[in-house]
């Protein structure tokens, strides 16, 4: 299944003084590989900047991380680490 047909919702999103910050599965520079980076995207005046989180995941893993709960769940730990990157950009 191609990624163009998938609805990709951000893991986290925040709007601060007209600047949108979101943690998203980055398919901007999509290659033929199944693994794509999770990035923090900053949008201001229709310009976008992407900051890496260090995670490269499949679409299925991305959805699992996005919906993860529980302290012992490894995907919830990945979600918490992505949240730290997200918070660093938001500050």
Q: What is the 3-state secondary structure (H, E, C) of the chain?
A: CCHHHCCCCCCEEEEECCEEEEEEECCCCCCCCCCEEEEEEEEECCEEEEEEEEEEECHHHHHHHHCCCCCCCHHHHHHHHHHHHHHHHHC
Q: Is the pTM of this model over 0.85?
A: no
Higher local confidence (pLDDT), 3 or 83: 83
Give the pLDDT mean for 11-25.
Answer: 94
State what percent of residues in the chain have pLDDT above 90. Answer: 71
Q: Above 60 in pLDDT, residue 86?
A: yes
Give the model's pLDDT for residue 7: 81
Name the pLDDT band for 1 (thresholds 50, 70, 90): very low
* Secondary structure (3-state) at 9: coil
Q: Above 70 in pLDDT, residue 32?
A: no
């Amino acid at each position: 299944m191609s990624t163009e047909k998938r609805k990709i919702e951000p893991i986290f999103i925040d709007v601060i003084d007209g600047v949108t910050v979101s943690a998203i599965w980055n398919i901007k520079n999509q290659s033929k590989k199944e693994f794509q980076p999770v990035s923090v995207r900053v949008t201001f005046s229709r310009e976008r900047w992407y900051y890496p989180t260090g995670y490269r995941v499949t679409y299925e893993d991305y959805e699992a991380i996005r919906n993860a709960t529980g302290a012992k769940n490894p995907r919830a730990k990945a979600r918490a680490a992505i949240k730290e990157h997200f918070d660093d950009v938001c500050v």
